[in-house]
Amino acid sequence: MKIASVEQFFPRHRTRLVKITTDTGLSGWGESTLEGKPESVEGAVRELADYLVGKDPLRIEHHWQHMYRSAFFRGGAILMTALSALDQALWDIAGKHYGVPVYKLLGGAVRDRILVYAHWGIGSLAEESLAAARERLDLLLESGYTAFKSGPGGKWRGHEPPAVIDHFVECAFLMREWVGPEVELAFDFHGKMTPALAIEICHEIKDMRPMFVEEPVPQENVDALKLVSDHVTFPIATGERLLSRWEFRQVFEKQAAAYIQPDGSHAGGITELKKIANMAEAYYIHVLPHCAIGPVAFTSCMHVDAVIPNFLAQEQVDWALGADILKQNWQVVDGHIELPDKPGLGIEIDEKAVSNRVPYQEELGGEHFYETDGSVADW
């Protein structure tokens, strides 16, 4: 069996896919979505496809090593996203070839279903905003969700006046009031804070007992992250912009975070996601894989979630459940998704639905990247 072709599909704004087809007719799917850099990844996939065509698709580890190590420049978001998508597709082929779900090739499941958390929050105390937040919460609670993530929106400078901080804190406590103490609430700071501001805000919300605060500071400086962790009494999480086990190494060795959030479509695919999780286990660090893109990425994460003992919860955005791309959408029951039982990734792509090329649109307009004084703001 040899790889015959590598194709790319662009069906949604935040969903880019690859399809590897073999000369025996087996095919596998992966997700190559990189938020903000879609065209760059398209070129990287083409470059790696030149290597893959004609090769045995079952030599997954060998191909991963080649795609990562064979060029002088390694890593980076663009290469790792392309590599991740192709790795996912190869695992999909392997599962279909052997007639088992991918997680059975990874050592077998240690759990029967996957806990997922949804995005929900109160962004404003205005009457219209509160009504919309209440409506979405009721809808999610009907599916049994027991964990939600939100965050302070907009731009945040080196420090903000009390009114800005107090508004976010009031919204956070109102969220706790609405859901009660049995539901987990987490907050994503999107790396927008300085250590001092992050610590201040974490102290303000500690009494509502967050599940975690994610990316309180930018990801480049592990010591700054540890500074926040050392001054906060609840868990700190990070990792969606770290791209391999080598980039996670300092987080582990410095015990800079309680939880990590590697992205299965950016950190090296199924192969590397499992290695990162296994490495974290030795440091008693739990894993909440990041996934804010499409259903193939989400499904790939769940296969790793199934086999790692230090899994905590899986991020899930609405369109990751299927988004008219899967012939059968994932179903959330009691806040969980049952393990797939079909071979490979266990999903079937509607190829007619993914045939049109939908242009990528940045979520935020250019004006949002500047402060009122004209200086550049973090995303």
> Regarding beta strands 236-238 and 259-260, do their DSSP bridges make them parallel or antiparallel, or are they unpaired?
parallel
pLDDT at 156: 86
**Cβ-contact 240, 251 below 8 angstroms:** no
Q: Which residues are 238's β-sheet partners?
A: 260
In the numeric block, the tokens 């393990």 are attached to 339
Domain 3-101 and domain 104-338 have a common topology: no
pLDDT at 362: 67
Distances (CA, A) of 8 to 201, 221, 301, 351, 357: 43, 35, 20, 11, 10
Count of Cβ atoms closer than 10 Å to residue 330 Cβ = 20
Separation between Cα atoms, residue 256 and residue 228, nearest integer Å: 8
Token reading at 308: 């790692």
pLDDT at 36: 83
Handedness of CA 163, 169, 174, 175 (dihedral sign): positive
pLDDT at 185: 98
Over residues 7-56, the pLDDT tens digits come to 999 998 889 999 999 999 999 999 999 988 878 899 999 999 999 999 99
Token reading at 111: 């759990």
Q: Which of 119, 167, 190, 231 is catalytic?
A: 190
Q: Which of 290, 303, 336, 368 is catalytic?
A: 290
pLDDT at 365: 53
Separation between Cα atoms, residue 84 and residue 316, nearest integer Å: 18
pLDDT at 21: 98
Separation between Cα atoms, residue 236 and residue 245, nearest integer Å: 19
Catalytic-residue membership of 119: no
Over residues 103-152, the pLDDT tens digits come to 999 999 999 999 999 999 999 999 999 999 999 999 999 989 999 999 99
Helix boundaries (H) for the chain: 38-52, 60-69, 77-98, 102-105, 127-142, 162-179, 195-205, 222-230, 245-253, 269-281, 295-305
Domain boundaries, the chain: 3-101, 104-338
pLDDT at 272: 98
Separation between Cα atoms, residue 227 and residue 199, nearest integer Å: 9
pLDDT at 378: 81
CATH superfamily of domain region 3-101? Enolase-like, N-terminal domain (3.30.390.10)
Spans of the chain below 70 pLDDT:
362-368
On whether the 104-338 domain is CATH 3.20.20.120, my answer is yes
What's the pTM value of the predicted model, to 2 decimals? 0.96
pLDDT at 366: 52
Residue 43 main-chain phi, psi, to 5 deg: -65, -40
Handedness of CA 71, 74, 78, 79 (dihedral sign): positive
Separation between Cα atoms, residue 154 and residue 164, nearest integer Å: 11
Of 229, 171, 149, whose CA–CA distance to 195 is shortest? 229
pLDDT at 37: 82
Catalytic-residue membership of 231: no
